Structure 1
Amino acid sequence: MTYCGHIFLFFPFWYSFSFILVHSETDSGTIGGLLCFNEVAISNGIHFRHTDGRHGEKYYLETPGSGLAWFDYDNDGDSDLYFVNSTDVSGRNSVPPSTNALYRNNGNGSFTDVTVDAGVNHEGYGFGCCVGDYDNDGFKDIYITNFGVNVLYHNNGNGTFTDVTKEAGVGDEQWSTGAAFADYDRDGDLDLFVANYVEYRLEDDPICYWVSSRFDNKSDAWKPRKKDTFHSPLLVRHRIYCLPKNFEGAPDVFYRNNGDGTFTDVTHESGLGNLDGKGLGAVWSDYDNDGDADLFVANDTTPNMLYQNKNDGTFVNVALHAGVVAVGKNGIPLSGMGTSFGDYNNDGKLDLVVTNFENDPNCLYRNNGDGTFSDETYSSGVGKNSLPYLAWGVGFLDLDNSGHQDMFVANGHIDDNVKVYTPSAAYAQQNQIFLNLGDSSFREISNQCGPGLQLKKVSRGAAFADYDNDGDIDIAISNSNQTPDLLQNDSDNQNHWLIIETVGTTSNRDGIGTRVTIVTEGGQQIREVKSGSSYLCQNDMRLHFGLGNAEMIDEVMVRWPSGLVEQFKNVKGDQFLRATEGEGLTVAHIPKSW
């Protein structure tokens, strides 16, 4: 059911006028217009519900939530959806037990739960996931991060998966979070980075309180207390989740693909073994444009890491030099959560966004092209509007097909009783869209984006795909201890678009790490094929370009991880294309009209 087409019938005049304010024109096309999203998860057959097991004990394990993945597991041309789930650790076993879930896209806007038939009904305490064809057999595999042993599912190519974790040697047993595949050594197969969070044992989980005076309810009178060490008739104790500072960081892990279905742990020799990271978000990108994959890791209350690939099997952390460590005014590192690279100002250089805790801004870094970044958090319009929210999933994506990448942010608090220590905060929060105005600035327009953006949920991961193959980007959101949201893009504009799928031959089969540049009358745009991004999530690997008014692309340039560069002239827009390494562009399938 679609609601956006009738939005003006149901809202008062002031709300209608707010849509008009979003509409503007640039040389490349319409920015904004009627940008509208409808929530369609249940109506389209998605009945998954996330379970974190909370029953009031306030186990720290319950706070991060879980991610999800868009990927075409059956190679039928549309994006299927995989949800990572957690479980009950309190001893009150859920019946039936909560499991991860795979929903097959039926190609008509609906989904079918194929979890059991596909063999991916993992029952662990899950957090994140990433996708990559690690054995180059033409079928996308999926890696799941857990508290406990991680899981690698091999795609058998017949609609089923096999757990090959033990044989592959990638069963890290720590508290793992973000993960991502990349071909760091450019040998044609995918290697795997796994971010780990903190050293944690359920039986050693500390008890934390906020203590307030019975006579003074001001927030500056509240102090955190670890353990119940005192009693006073003048004080009120509020049980809350503990903070990251109550735990030691866990070292990250990096696996090199041996090319035979197995991996070797090369964490130490590669230089990626951050011992104190408290890592959450992880994303690979060639930020310095030298042809190899670099790595950014968002850390929670410890400095973020930007690992520059030295092209000799090793990395060096250049975050301080690059200016992306992310510290507050007091010099204390921020709480890095989700992260993404994208060229928001279309200058040919990949910029960086990192989400953070409430009262700290989401950080936007503009790539200067010389190995450094400039902090544009507040000058861009992103900073002030992100302060009230606790942010997680994030991505650069062109929601209105204007030719400029907008930003989506998923929000939600960790404490269901957050108001006892921050009265102005909320547990369930509104997610946000920042509209790119085409002048290196953004406008927060969430209230003008239709009913799907008016929802208030406890959101965590956000992943992006054109699931209905109509040429615009839709959004899937994992909500902690709730059902997910599927925000269908029903925006009304006449802008054009292009979507490109990459298939490697010498490079890895998915083409992960491939950079595609297009040139139109509106300027230049770049995209990279990625595994893992946002927060604990996997986006559709197909590359989406909004074209604005342009019906024709003057040039498409594809730079593969192998080093091969291919150029194609006068490519028509409004197409799904497949770029096969060394073989050119072909039509992948026909766009759908609903």
Structure 2
Amino acid sequence: MGINPIKRPKKTAIIMAILTITTLLSALPSPALAHSQGVPTETMVTFTDVSEASGINIIDTGPLTNWVSYGPGISVDDCDQDGDMDVMVTARFDHLSYENLEFESGSIQFMLNNGDGTFTDWTSESGMNLQNTTVIGSSWADYDNDGDKDVYLSAFGESDVDNLDSGERNILFKNNGNCQFTDVTVDTGVGQGALANAIVVNGNVTEVVMQNVGSDYATSGGLAPAIYFRDAYGNGAMAEAIVTADGEISSVSITNGGEGYDDENPPEVIFVSGVANYGHSTTAIWADYDHDGDVDLYSMNLGIVDEELYWARTETNFLYRNDGDVDGDGEIEFSDVTKFAGVSGQGEVSDSPNQFFLSGLYRMDQASPSNPSTMAQIATADYRGTGLSFAGVWFDYDNDGWEDLYVASDFGMSPIYHNNRDGTFTVMTKELNMDLPGTGMGAHAGDWDGDGDLDLCHSNFGPNYLWENDGGNSFSERSRDLGFRDAGSAGSFVAVNWACQFFDYDLDGDLDIFFGVGRINRFTAYNNNTLYRNDGDIDGDGFVNFVDISGEIGLRTGTNGNKTMGVSIFDYDGDGDLDIMLGHSDRAPQLFSNNAVEETGRHSSSFGILWD
């Protein structure tokens, strides 16, 4: 690929920002902010594939698939606090069972960084040895303020538009301080211990008989739990819990008996409060949105999407507020405040806490085969989002000191929410000039133009969006001006862009951008991942120069590319520059080592703080 410069008027102050955010299946886990003027790049910084030398090539988290698949995702953090980044790789699976005759889930793998450029498989020792799982997202944060990083795993389930119970519960793992983890998902709810049996007659759930009424459901937080009916065959049973003034579940009211249940083997009755989220989850992002000193959790659901036949059911996202230890049991509790906060990711939200709103069946029709980013909306042009949420980012777009929220959404509008600083948010999609439908799959924030505010990238099936922040009052979509719209495309083939991330790959003080590219079904082609270098104003004409250097720096993953869904950018070897790890659906993960320090003599921290 030739080197094609794209120019844009230069602005003065360069601010590097690698934020605590996740794209679909990828993460940069800790904030890093630095001020620098762009430093000219005198040599070509390149990457070397060190997958085998590092031990990353042994990772196997599910069957290899060529098109209709999700995963694996990648996230990193310093689990054992030894100063280097450890790696979580999530499941890889065919979510539609199109390439395999029967649904086959995957596993997760956790790798400890040895500090010498190699990794050791620590999955069994960690206590997170999940098999037969559809966990595709992992997000790190110290939710209990004990000084070490915990991890929240987002599980997807199976894409079956005819089975409303095809999701899988998410899991919160508490770090015990030694890189060994305990599942505390149930403990994060207000109230515990309720047990019940379902009675099924002629395939319908007709009654729920309480075996243990539990405790503290109403007295600590006033929230009744959501109820789920789980088995392999059922479809659609719904119920509401009746809670007494003493905090006990006195009875369960059936609101929909469902159909197709086994009379002899009734479904399990599950009472959910806390952060379980039984939807079709993709990822989650942490932030202290209410500034009370602890991190809160925004968990995103994609809903049920058939990428072959273009049918979908949408699902609500969840905002879980960290309430601290409200009942004195030694565990942190979370409350579902989605409706109060106004951040459901779609137009509808359940009135019952911990219960997502699942829509009817929608047909997805694209407006133009050559430009799938302009897919028609699922239902209406709703500025609150489509309910098909792939990724999100907390970022302060107006520099008021409070975290705002952007949600990359498939098949329609991607909403942006302004933090009102009172626990609520206001949808600002139209007001900020961001009411452009797309097929959002990845999102990241960074100040690529160096004007002191945070901009956004948004990856699509088709042309990507690059949102320039115009001083916190509006955004302008600049992808065509900057040459990013067709990242990864080869000839007439439209790229499926799963991830986008800003980072300073060559340590010159400005933000470059990487796109992870793949495919979604057998009708879309493979394409190569793409890296655009920001050269700053190297020729002194007052313009920033962006250059597509993908073919020159050693990042090609195959002749025609691979299906790259997971991207994580971090300094794996501690040499002061940022390396790239890729998760593929059709081959083993890859790790590429950056030689920027060797070539330039400059250094950065694990996530981008620059120094000479």
TM-score w.r.t. length of structure 2: 0.65
Aligned to 1:394: 500
Residue 135 (1) aligns with residue 138 (2)? no
Distance 1:250 1:451 in 2: 36
Q: 1:443 aligns with which of 538, 547, 553?
A: 547
How much has 1:414 moved relative to structure 2? 1.6
Summarize the Cα distance change of 1:370–1:282 in structure 2 as closer, same or farther, 3 Å threshold: closer
How much has 1:376 moved relative to structure 2? 1.1
Distance 1:130 1:366 in 2: 26
* One-letter amino acid of the counterpart of residue 119, structure 2: F
Aligned to 1:286: 396
What does residue range 90-239 of structure 1 map to in structure 2 within 5 Å?
98-123=106-131, 124-147=133-156, 148-168=168-188, 169-199=274-304
What does residue range 298-377 of structure 1 map to in structure 2 within 5 Å?
298-326=408-436, 333-357=437-461, 360-377=462-479
Distance 1:461 1:136 in 2: 28
Aligned to 2:308: 241
Aligned to 2:573: 468
Distance 1:378 1:289 in 2: 27
What SS does the aligned partner of 1:409 have? Answer: strand
Provide, for residues 216-271 of structure 1, a one-character-per-residue CA deviation record: whole Å limited to 9, x for no partner: xxxxxxxxxxxxxxxxxxxxxxxx7232xx11211111100011211100010000
How much has 1:382 moved relative to structure 2? 1.4
1:115–1:121 contact (8 Å) kept in structure 2:
yes
Distance 1:88 1:65 in 2: 9
What does residue range 476-495 of structure 1 map to in structure 2 within 5 Å?
476-491=581-596, 492-495=598-601
Residue 544 (1) aligns with residue 550 (2)? no
* One-letter amino acid of the counterpart of residue 462, structure 1: V
Provide, for residues 364-414 of structure 1, a one-character-per-residue CA deviation record: whole Å limited to 9, x for no partner: 111111321111111112124455321011111000001110001100112
How much has 1:467 moved relative to structure 2? 1.0
Distance 2:569 2:588 in 1: 17
Summarize the Cα distance change of 1:313–1:20 in structure 2 as closer, same or farther, 3 Å threshold: closer
What does residue range 37-56 of structure 1 map to in structure 2 within 5 Å?
37-46=47-56, 47-51=58-62
Aligned to 2:528: 430
1:398–1:545 contact (8 Å) kept in structure 2:
no
Distance 1:52 1:175 in 2: 20
Q: 2:83 aligns with which of 77, 97, 100?
A: 77
Summarize the Cα distance change of 1:77–1:64 in structure 2 as closer, same or farther, 3 Å threshold: same
Distance 2:117 2:77 in 1: 15
Question: Which stretches of structure 1, 4 residues or more, deviate above 3 A after TM superposition?
Answer: 18-22, 52-55, 86-95, 384-388, 451-455
* One-letter amino acid of the counterpart of residue 324, structure 2: G
* One-letter amino acid of the counterpart of residue 379, structure 1: D
Distance 2:473 2:42 in 1: 33
| Number of equivalences | 425
1:19–1:33 contact (8 Å) kept in structure 2:
no
Provide, for residues 48-93 of structure 1, a one-character-per-residue CA deviation record: whole Å limited to 9, x for no partner: 12426769xx9xxx53433111100000000000001145775978
Distance 2:308 2:63 in 1: 14
1:19–1:34 contact (8 Å) kept in structure 2:
no
Summarize the Cα distance change of 1:72–1:498 in structure 2 as closer, same or farther, 3 Å threshold: same
Aligned to 2:345: 274
How much has 1:179 moved relative to structure 2? 0.8
* One-letter amino acid of the counterpart of residue 435, structure 1: R
Residue 34 (1) aligns with residue 34 (2)? no
2:528–2:556 contact (8 Å) kept in structure 1:
no
What does residue range 17-32 of structure 1 map to in structure 2 within 5 Å?
28-31=38-41
Bigger helix fraction: 1
- Between the aligned residues of both structures, percent identity stands at 34
* One-letter amino acid of the counterpart of residue 187, structure 1: D
Summarize the Cα distance change of 1:349–1:21 in structure 2 as closer, same or farther, 3 Å threshold: closer
Distance 1:174 1:20 in 2: 43
Distance 2:551 2:516 in 1: 14
Distance 2:469 2:4 in 1: 32
Query: Please, which runs of 5 or more residues in structure 1 have no aligned partner?
Result: 1-14, 206-239, 327-332, 419-424, 500-541, 547-572, 575-594
Distance 1:52 1:315 in 2: 41
What SS does the aligned partner of 2:83 have? Answer: coil
How much has 1:453 moved relative to structure 2? 5.6
Summarize the Cα distance change of 1:20–1:270 in structure 2 as closer, same or farther, 3 Å threshold: closer
How much has 1:294 moved relative to structure 2? 0.6
